[in-house]
C-alpha cells in the first residue's frame, strides 16, 4: 500500500507480462454509494480517460468486480513534490520556474478540455525519476461548459481562491489562483496567507495583502519577475487575474518564463534542474 484516501487504498502493483509498475487505486463501491460519490467517481474516470498530456497522470487501465472499482495509473517513482519540499524547505527560483511551467501547461490542457482541476497543492504534484512533474488526483475536478460557473466548496484551505470562500461561483481562474499560491510556497516555504486559525486565514485570503520576505533579514530572495507573477496570479478579482483573458498563454508569456523553451519542455528535451534521489 502506498496511499490511502476517503474511499479506498492505493497499491503499488506490477504487470505480470511486461513488468511495468502501476499505482492501483481500489475504490470500495459500498463506501462511494453510502457517501453519494458515484457521480464524482464516474467523473474522475471520464477525466482520467480523456486527458493525454506529458505532465498529467492519465488512466492506463480500469476494471471492476462486485466489491470494488480499480483505476490503474503509471507509478511515478519520485513521489509527491510535497515530500521533496519538506526536505529542502524552499526551492531555488530556477527550480520553481521549471516546475511552475509544467504545472501551468498541465492546467492549460485540462482547461482546453473544459475541466477545472480545483485541487492544486504539492501533495498532488508527482516528481518523476527524470525530474519532470505530473499532476495527479482528479477527485475534485469538474467538467464545465463555456461561461458556466461551478459552485461546490472544495479544495485545500491554504489554496482556496477568494471567490470559492465568498461562494458566488467560480471558473477556471481558481486554478490560476492556486498556481500563484504554489509558486509563493515553493519559493518562500509557506503559503502567503497561512494562519493556524482557519477563520483568520480565510479573511486574509479575501482581503489580506501579499507580503514578501526581507532578503536581508529572512535570507529569502524573490526576484521582481517572480513577485510580479505571484501578485498577478493572486489578484482577488478573478476577472483581472492573470490567465482570465487568454488562459495558459497569459501565464507562459510572463517574463518569469522568458528563458524556457516551452516546446522543448513539453517534449522533455530540457535538462531538469532537480532530480529526486531514488
The candidate with the shortest Cα–Cα distance to 53, out of 74, 81, 24, 22, is 74
- The one-character DSSP state at 222 is -
- Say whether domain 81-266 belongs to CATH 1.10.510.10: yes
Which of these ranges, 3-7, 197-201, 207-211, 235-239, has the smallest mean pLDDT?
3-7
Residues of the chain with CATH 1.10.510.10: 81-266
Angle at 247 (CA atoms; ends 242, 253), nearest 5 degrees:
65
At 206-248, the pLDDT tens digits run 999 999 999 999 999 999 999 999 999 999 999 999 999 999 9
Question: What are 33's three cell numbers?
Answer: 454509494
At 163-191, the pLDDT tens digits run 999 988 899 999 999 999 999 999 999 99
| Cα–Cα distance for residue pair 21/23, rounded to 1 Å | 7
| Cα–Cα distance for residue pair 20/74, rounded to 1 Å | 8
Please give the share of the chain, as a percent, with pLDDT higher than 90.
73
pLDDT at position 148 is 75
Mean pLDDT of the chain: 92
278 pLDDT more than 70? no
User: What is the CA 122 to chain-centroid distance, rounded?
Assistant: 7
The pLDDT-based confidence of 86 (bands split at 50, 70, 90) is confident
Q: Per the residue annotation, which of 119, 137, 171, 250 is the catalytic one?
A: 119
- The more confident residue out of 163 and 50 is 163
Residues of the chain with CATH 3.30.200.20: 3-74
Instruction: Supply the pTM of this predicted model.
Output: 0.92
Query: Is 130 one of the catalytic residues?
Result: no
CATH architecture of 3-74: 2-Layer Sandwich (3.30)
User: What is the CA 170 to chain-centroid distance, rounded?
Assistant: 17
Amino acid at each position: 500500500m502506498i496511499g490511502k484516501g476517503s474511499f479506498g487504498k492505493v497499491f503499488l502493483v506490477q504487470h505480470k507480462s511486461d513488468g511495468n509498475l502501476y499505482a492501483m487505486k481500489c475504490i470500495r463501491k459500498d463506501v462511494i454509494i453510502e457517501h453519494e460519490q458515484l457521480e464524482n467517481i464516474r467523473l474522475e474516470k471520464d477525466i482520467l480517460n480523456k486527458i493525454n498530456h506529458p505532465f498529467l497522470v492519465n488512466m492506463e487501465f480500469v476494471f471492476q468486480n462486485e466489491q470494488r472499482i480499480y483505476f490503474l495509473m503509471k507509478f511515478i517513482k519520485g513521489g509527491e513534490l510535497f515530500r521533496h519540499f519538506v526536505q529542502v524547505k524552499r526551492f531555488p527560483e530556477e527550480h520553481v520556474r521549471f516546475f511552475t511551467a509544467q504545472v501551468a501547461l498541465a492546467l492549460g490542457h485540462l482547461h482546453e478540455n473544459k475541466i477545472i482541476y480545483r485541487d492544486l497543492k504539492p501533495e498532488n504534484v508527482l516528481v518523476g525519476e527524470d525530474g519532470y512533474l505530473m499532476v495527479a488526483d482528479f477527485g475534485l475536478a469538474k467538467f464545465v461548459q463555456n461561461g458556466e460557473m461551478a459552485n461546490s466548496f472544495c479544495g485545500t484551505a491554504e489554496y482556496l481562491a477568494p471567490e470559492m470562500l465568498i461562494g458566488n461561483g467560480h471558473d477556471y481562474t481558481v486554478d490560476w489562483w492556486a498556481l500563484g499560491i504554489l509558486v509563493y510556497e515553493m519559493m518562500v516555504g509557506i503559503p502567503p496567507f497561512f494562519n493556524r486559525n482557519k477563520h483568520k486565514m480565510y479573511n486574509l485570503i479575501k482581503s489580506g495583502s501579499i507580503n514578501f520576505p526581507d532578503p536581508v533579514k529572512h535570507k529569502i530572495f524573490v526576484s521582481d519577475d517572480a513577485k510580479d507573477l505571484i501578485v498577478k496570479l493572486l489578484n482577488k478579482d478573478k476577472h483581472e487575474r492573470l490567465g482570465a483573458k487568454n488562459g495558459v498563454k497569459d501565464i507562459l508569456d510572463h517574463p518569469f518564463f522568458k528563458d524556457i523553451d516551452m516546446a522543448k519542455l513539453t517534449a522533455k528535451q530540457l535538462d531538469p534542474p532537480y532530480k529526486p534521489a531514488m
